Structure 1
Amino acid sequence: MAVTLLEDASLFELAVPCAVFAGEGYELTLCATTPGSAQRTPGGLTLAAEHGLDALRAADLVVVPACMVDGYEPPAALLDALREAHTRGARIASLCSGAFVLAAAGLLDGRPAATHWMYADELRRRHPRVRVDDRSLYVDDGSILTSAGTAAAIDLCLHIVRGDYGTAAAAEVGRRMVVAPHREGDQTQYALPPVAVPPRAEGFGAVLDWALARLHRPLTIAELASRAGMSTRTFGRRFATEVGVTPLKWLNQQRLARARELLETTDLGVDAVAERSGMGSADSLRQHFHRALATTPAAYRRTFRAAIPQRRPEGHSPPELPNTTHTAR
């Protein structure tokens, strides 16, 4: 895989793919339009990439970090290299304002694309053919992936690891980086400030942790609301505002993630996996897998069982499941 070093590079979004992908079965290459040339960063540091854009020709994944929005014009050579990489089948991912680079290359025309909500209107103005999504954390549109800023860049990179090597591998990277558990792409980037709400020190964190420890139980929204000290109606409204999805959808997402982890890391039968993940029955688990991943639990296990990250030989593509996108609904 290749990460592009841009002029006035954002250190955080540049560091994220290096931290997530290094040592996880990916051969990471930092490249620039002019190899060896110093690129300044907003923090006053200078960075240099050893490799040129020819590194994109061999990469099956190209990550474009955030760029300066005002006054930055992506080099024509970079845009050409991105188009060429996409044409030959490489996945292209942008982090935060890196979407402006992909849009300039024409790779986002007619596609849904995420970027930081602060830049969404400018992206719409400059590139009206892009279907800008200013709410989702990230959008996986097959060969093109885009994310919002800062923490959402981590979410997208972990999503890529999860698709390549499975839930357990992504969870291990998350634990190493001490970041939050798996967040779906259609969770919101930001929450509107609640009106006339008493201050809470922990928000919904304690309730979510409590629920995660009891996914195997038949939890109800009323039970969660009671745990939070709210009416069911108030809990549902504020949960959707602060977490970005409804309580029921969040529960289903977490149960599916638990089921995927159990299929990857244990020899439990489908009935036992359904019970321990809170799906209830094997039939219910199969329905959720078909709806979310377009596959079956058995097929998923065959793909990802013991899929410990290893260095992939050149030209080898990671295992993929059909229709595993996480776009805004």
Structure 2
Amino acid sequence: MRYDKPKSIGIIVGIVISIFLIGQQLGTLRFLTGLMSGLIVNSNSSGSDIWIIDNITGNVNALSRIDSRIAQEVKSINGVEDSYGVVIANATATFEGSKTSPVNLIGSEGPLFIAGPNPSKILTGSLDELYQSDAISAEFFNSKNLGVNLELNKTFEINNKAAIIKVMTKNAQGFGGYYMYTNISNARFYGNFPNDKLSIVVVKVKKGVNIENLVNRINQTFYGVKAWKVDDLKNSTLSEILITSNIGVSFGSLVIFAMISGFFIIGLTLYSSALDRLVDYGTLKAIGASNGFVSRLILTQAMLFALIGFIIALLLLVLFKNGVASAGLLINLDWPLIMILLGVTLFMSVGGSLFAVVKISRLEPASIF
């Protein structure tokens, strides 16, 4: 490793590039999947709740309107503790300088505000502020994306109607649109949403009630809608978007090709290094070294390359994470992702070294003299 620096540097660079690309793609994909289920993730709904939506789609980002009477009628079903209506309306926001942008208005009833925003994602202000007739939330990261100054008590227009920012959220983002939270009346008013319609009915389940059975009872009772367990709706949303948009294929193919290229760069470089050292390896075997001993030398070398390359790639990923965070691209380098990247690094390095191991194991000591 020390005396064949060009090859050593080539192997480490191959590892760093491959692991950085894989980490970047996986981190970005995880962020995007979080946005895809943003309506659920940003809400104040628990995992034991049931969401009732139209029966046409399994994607929470593409909802049709349902009858608002369902929110009251569902309370008559045994096992339902309470229910809440949610309105999601498309609108156009106009900011200073006549800048316009489509937004998604998300309205629910206080004081719970079941649709959100979740208090953990509120930067300034409080949920109680959304009770006001003209109160709207705004997202911290959208300020830079829209090129406008979004701050508390700032006035702007939604569908030509004046609104005031009373709550600032941070990372309460969604997939394919800007989220603005408010109360249900404001969402109807600004979004021109009919009073007899809702987008979602969230059902609170009584303790001890079997959720699966309650979902089936709701689906058998109401026509034109479908009840979902929250986790099932979240998974359905992710599957539908990843399949229809080819996002999963795009990111997956990049990760696979990065692994393949890294594997063969490391493997062929180590193989070339072994060919340059055939006399040395043959001499070791001639004086009594076993194939196992020589193989351990090569594998140890591969492990050291893997460790050095992984550390450098991880540092670059941390720099990348910090660099894109200001734009709202929040990549979470948690331990599960780090361990996955470490496993991929070891797979590429140790797996690639097998080219050299096989070559040396077949080497006859007498052939070098």
Scaled by the length of structure 2, the TM-score of the pair is: 0.24
Higher helix share: 2
- TM-score (ref. length: structure 1): 0.26
More strand by share: 2
Structure number with higher relative contact order (C-alpha < 8 Å, ≥ 6 residues apart): 2
